[in-house]
Amino acid sequence: MKLFIDSCIREDSRTNILAEAFMEKHPGKWKTLSLVDLGLKPLNEERLDARMAYLNKGDFNNPAFDLAKEFAEAEEILIASPYYDYSFSALLKTYIENIYIIGIVSRYDETGRPIGLCRAKRLTYITTAGGPYDPAYSYEYIRRIATECFGIKECNLIYAENLDIVGYDATAIIEAKRKSL
């Protein structure tokens, strides 16, 4: 199964246009996970304590771990997230916070270094930006956590930028990028 993690808020998202084009060019059984529809919440003390209680017992059957298992078992991962305020959506950060389960997506070696347990060999991150795009504040986080913690060897970035700059043709930029995938 290939996993498409959609953290786009708008129905007519330009980021999703590129994600759909990517999936067309990379056929297979894609499962779409709409983060808007999940209703995920950031961890708080109560949820963190409950999660730790299950982890301390070695009980990975709790439904709270289902998203992490799905992520870890995916053969390929596609993430679509618009570039907001020099980062990605809060929805995506909340998702990562909820799936980062030691024993499912990662483990630690004897020195405390994370060892990835994810099956995916490739993660592709797609984003669009109204102005100039700087991957240091969004993609680099995703790339580092994927490669250094989840064990995903290949990470790719696809982006379209300057979509809201006067004088730039956003439709033409998106179409050119879509065709180049």
Question: For position 44, what pLDDT does the model report?
Answer: 95
> CA-CA distance, 114 to 145, in Å (whole number)?
10
The domains of the chain are located at 2-180
Question: For position 69, what pLDDT does the model report?
Answer: 98
Question: For position 3, what pLDDT does the model report?
Answer: 98
- Residues 81-134: tens digit of each pLDDT: 999 999 999 999 999 999 999 999 999 999 999 999 999 999 999 999 999 999
Query: Which residue from 181, 126, 179 is spatially nearest to 156, judged by alpha carbons?
Result: 126
pTM of the full structure: 0.96
- Whether the CB-CB separation of 149 and 117 falls below 8 Å is answered with no
- Residues 8-60: tens digit of each pLDDT: 999 899 999 999 999 999 999 999 999 999 999 999 999 999 999 999 998 89
> CA-CA distance, 126 to 141, in Å (whole number)?
13
Which class would CATH give 2-180? alpha beta
Question: For position 110, what pLDDT does the model report?
Answer: 96
Residue 24 phi, psi dihedral angles, 5° rounding: -65, -40
DSSP string, 14-32: HHHHHHHHHHHHS-S-EEE
